Amino acid sequence: MAATILVTGGAGYVGSHTVIELLNSGYEVVVVDNLVNACQGKDGQPEALKRVEKITGKKVKFYNVDLLKLDELDKVFSAHPISLVMHFAALKAVGESVSLPLAYYKNNVSGSIILLEVMKSHGVKKLVYSSSATVYGTPQSLPLTEDHPTGQGCTNPYGKSKYFVEEILKDLVISDKEWSVVSLRYFNPVGAHKSGHIGEDPSGIPNNLMPYISQVAVGRRPSLSVYGSDYETPDGTGVRDYIHIEDLALGHIAAAKLLLSSLSGQFKVYNLGTGRGNSVLEVIKAFEEASGRKIPYTICPRRPGDIAASYADASLANKELGWTAAKTLHDMCADTWRWQSQNPHGFSSSEH
pLDDT in tens, 95-123: 889 999 999 999 999 999 999 999 999 99
Closest by CA to 11, choosing from 2, 20, 3, is 20
CA distance 237 to 329: 17
Q: What is the pLDDT of residue 82?
A: 98
pLDDT, mean of residues 332-350: 91
pLDDT, mean of residues 66-87: 98
| H-type alpha helices, 262-328 | 280-291, 315-321
CATH (domain of 153): 3.40.50.720
pLDDT exceeds 80 at position 351: no
- Give tens-digit pLDDT for 39-48: 888 888 999 9
- Give tens-digit pLDDT for 213-259: 999 999 999 999 999 999 999 999 999 999 999 999 999 999 999 99
CA distance 133 to 127: 19
Residue 165 CB neighbours (<10 A): 24
- Give tens-digit pLDDT for 130-153: 999 999 998 999 999 999 999 998
pLDDT exceeds 90 at position 203: no
CA angle 101, 105, 109 (to 5 degrees): 165
- Give tens-digit pLDDT for 300-338: 999 877 889 999 999 999 999 999 999 999 999 999 999
| H-type alpha helices, the chain | 13-24, 47-56, 70-79, 94-99, 101-104, 111-121, 157-175, 209-217, 245-261, 280-291, 315-321, 329-342
Q: What is the pLDDT of residue 263?
A: 77
Terminal Cα-to-Cα distance of the chain (whole angstroms) = 41
Its domain, for residue 136, covers 4-351
Closest by CA to 208, choosing from 259, 262, 245, 246, is 245
- For residues 127 and 68, is the Cβ–Cβ distance under 8 A? no
Label residue 9 exposed, middle or buried (CB < 10 Å: 0-12, 13-18, 19+). Answer: buried
Please list the active-site residues: 158
The structural domain count of the chain equals 1
- Give tens-digit pLDDT for 258-292: 999 977 899 999 999 999 999 999 999 999 999 99
Residue 349: which pLDDT band, with cuts at 50, 70 and 90? Answer: low
- Give tens-digit pLDDT for 142-197: 999 999 999 998 878 999 999 999 999 999 999 999 999 999 999 999 999 999 99
